[in-house]
Structure 1
Amino acid sequence: MRRDLHEANRLSWNEATKAHNSHKGDQAAFFRAGGSTLFPEELELLGDVAGLSLLHLQCNSGQDSLSLARLGAQVTGVDISDEAIAFAARLSADSGLPARFERSDLFDWFEAARSDGRRFERVFTSYGTICWLSDLKPWARGIADMLAPGGRFAMVEFHPFALVFDPKWTPRHDYFAEGAIPEPDGVGDYVAASGETLALDAYHSGIEDFRNPNPAFEFCWGLGQVVSALVEAGLRIEQLKEYPYANGWAGFEAMRDLGQGRLAPPDNMPRIPLMYGLAATKPA
């Protein structure tokens, strides 16, 4: 477990989060008007959340957290970024959607939550989260410990096979890479790169030509490693799905817009998995 690298990532995310939110306009107005940032895949895997306690891991600036609160969940969001959690708390107050937000390194948060005996009926994470974690086993154990008996964990994540390719669809990266992968340019402005698919009601220019002054460190986790960690932690995998598109993220050139925020490889490429989702339960 590399908390020192997590700390570097905290600093990088603090800067990137400012750029990301600068492109999204009046987010409180978006939510007051009934807006949601959730995709059908998350909702299907989570099931009905009305009236349930829900823990949102690596919640970023809280947009998905508040979308889940709108559905009736009692939401607690956790993220390492000071900027993200402060923004999420303001957005909750300004939008009138109640949720609790807590800033912490996720592994430190798990330790404290265990000591306090906290439990949740749903645990959720999505999109570009686990690549920032230096160890999957304590992640999976933390999820299992936070779930109440019979509770459900759901996640949607970008497929590790897709991350083998560089932005020009050239195989470049090792699927089985081990250890930290330095990102000297830090967390980038993927919202600007993806345009309207991640910008809520409309794209706003905001901070242009963003350059992150703080480097970051990523980690590669294959699909087998994710499933194995959850199973070893005592969870039962109920669903594992792969999708030939990515929700919101235009990470590669010439991606086709399928509508509803779904982006796929260009027509001259065979379909490949760009995203996967899974649901697991804790035995009652």
Structure 2
Amino acid sequence: MNPSADTGSPHPALHDVTAANRVSWNAIHHARPGRPAAFFAAGGSTLSAEEIAAAGDVTGRRVLQLACSCGDEALSWATLGASVTGIDISGVAIGLARAKSVEAGIPVDFRRADMFNLPADLTDLDLIYLSWGAICWVPDLTTWATLIADRLHPDGSVLIADHHPLWEVLAVTGPETLTLTADYFSRTTPRPTIHNAKLPAGARDAPNPPTFTAYIWPPSDIITALLSAGLYLTHFTESPVPDIYAGLTSPTHLPASYLIRATKNVSRGTTPRITK
């Protein structure tokens, strides 16, 4: 298989969702440039201290970022010494990421691809990473978890850092006012509409935003899918992000983000560690 080829998913229903979302992403990614190349050339990073600590030392490790967007996190992993590949369904996003990589002088292998049909050479990976706003585009967690677990090195891990789904269903609509905008337990049923504040940058506040198909996945469902794929949970935290709930007096009383790490192999008899 040509590793740079843009192939469809072998699962038709998943491919239909991906294909429709690709059109919408291509329509807005020009407004999603991310940080400039100079930021990364100067050693900048968009990764949090918690993400870096959970990943461990990535020097010389093979890292794959799924749904890499304009490349900021992939470039950040590369500045830490990792050998990085970033994939995204949007050709516009990959074009931005490639240009940024060249301008910054930081080599990253950016490819347009569907995470449900990864290029054949992306195997034996040390870390598969998903960042903010990625997991909500996965239509089928069980299939997804099985596919990525098969691509890991025997000691490899999956690391997910994302918005908490509670934030996905709550919107601050006035001082000290929260409004329920979606069903937290909708799971496999995509949201019929997405509240303006939850739309991707580039579509938010647009008079006629493109249509997206997205899903709300409780962390319990994500963790269960990873465990069912044979991985071991080694890290799970939920955290506040005050700016996300701007307008509330006590925004730190609500979870706004989470971090999950699951590893392919741990010693038999070792109890997975869950931190809160």
TM-score bracket relative to the smaller structure: 0.7 to 0.9
C-alpha contact 1:59 1:65 (8 A) present in aligned 2: yes
Residue 191 of structure 1: CA displacement? 7.2
Q: C-alpha root-mean-square deviation of aligned residues, in Å?
A: 2.4
Task: Please say if 1:35 is aligned against 2:44.
Answer: yes
Q: Write out per-residue CA displacement over residues 64-99 of structure 1, whole angstroms, 9 at most, x where no aligned residue.
A: 101110110000111111111111111111110001
In structure 1, the partner of 2:6 is none
**Residues 234 and 133 (structure 1), Cα distance of their counterparts in 2 relative to 1, 3 Å cut:** same
Q: Secondary structure at the match of 1:161?
A: helix
- Of 166, 170, 178, which residue of structure 1 is paired with 2:171? 166
Residue 162 of structure 1: CA displacement? 2.1
Residue 147 of structure 1: CA displacement? 0.7
Residue 164 of structure 1: CA displacement? 2.0
**Residues 66 and 190 (structure 1), Cα distance of their counterparts in 2 relative to 1, 3 Å cut:** same
Q: Which stretch of the first structure deviates more once superposed, 271-280 or 29-38?
A: 29-38
In 2, the alpha carbon distance for the partners of 1:83 and 1:180 equals 25
- Of 168, 171, 179, which residue of structure 1 is paired with 2:189? 179
C-alpha contact 1:167 1:251 (8 A) present in aligned 2: no
Task: Please say if 1:149 is aligned against 2:154.
Answer: yes
Residue 182 of structure 1: CA displacement? 3.5
Identity %: 37
The letter of the residue matching 2:201 is Y
In 2, the alpha carbon distance for the partners of 1:130 and 1:13 equals 15
In 1, the alpha carbon distance for the partners of 2:142 and 2:122 equals 20
- Of 129, 135, 141, which residue of structure 2 is paired with 1:130? 135
C-alpha contact 2:29 2:202 (8 A) present in aligned 1: no
In structure 2, the partner of 1:226 is 222
In structure 1, the partner of 2:15 is 3
Task: Please say if 1:100 is aligned against 2:112.
Answer: no
Q: Which runs of 5+ in 1 are unaligned?
A: 194-208, 255-265
Q: Secondary structure at the match of 2:64?
A: strand
Q: Write out per-residue CA displacement over residues 15-62 of structure 1, whole angstroms, 9 at most, x where no aligned residue.
A: 2211122xx57x112222222111112111111101111111111111
In structure 1, the partner of 2:85 is 76
C-alpha contact 2:74 2:84 (8 A) present in aligned 1: yes
**Residues 185 and 49 (structure 1), Cα distance of their counterparts in 2 relative to 1, 3 Å cut:** same
Q: Secondary structure at the match of 1:88?
A: helix
Count of aligned positions: 248
Residue 189 of structure 1: CA displacement? 5.2
C-alpha contact 1:183 1:218 (8 A) present in aligned 2: no
Task: Please say if 1:12 is aligned against 2:24.
Answer: yes
- Of 134, 140, 145, which residue of structure 2 is paired with 1:140? 145
**RCO greater where, 1 or 2, for CA within 8 Å and sep 6 or more?**
1
Instruction: Give the TM-score taking structure 1 as reference length.
Output: 0.80
Q: Secondary structure at the match of 1:93?
A: helix
In structure 1, the partner of 2:10 is none
In 2, the alpha carbon distance for the partners of 1:185 and 1:170 equals 11
Instruction: Give the TM-score taking structure 2 as reference length.
Output: 0.82
In 2, the alpha carbon distance for the partners of 1:270 and 1:102 equals 38
Q: Which runs of 5+ in 2 are unaligned?
A: 1-12, 267-276
In structure 2, the partner of 1:258 is none
In structure 2, the partner of 1:262 is none
**Residues 76 and 171 (structure 1), Cα distance of their counterparts in 2 relative to 1, 3 Å cut:** same
Residue 192 of structure 1: CA displacement? 9.7
**Residues 184 and 158 (structure 1), Cα distance of their counterparts in 2 relative to 1, 3 Å cut:** closer
- Of 255, 273, 281, which residue of structure 1 is paired with 2:255? 273
In 2, the alpha carbon distance for the partners of 1:104 and 1:224 equals 27
- Of 217, 236, 239, which residue of structure 2 is paired with 1:240? 236
In structure 2, the partner of 1:199 is none
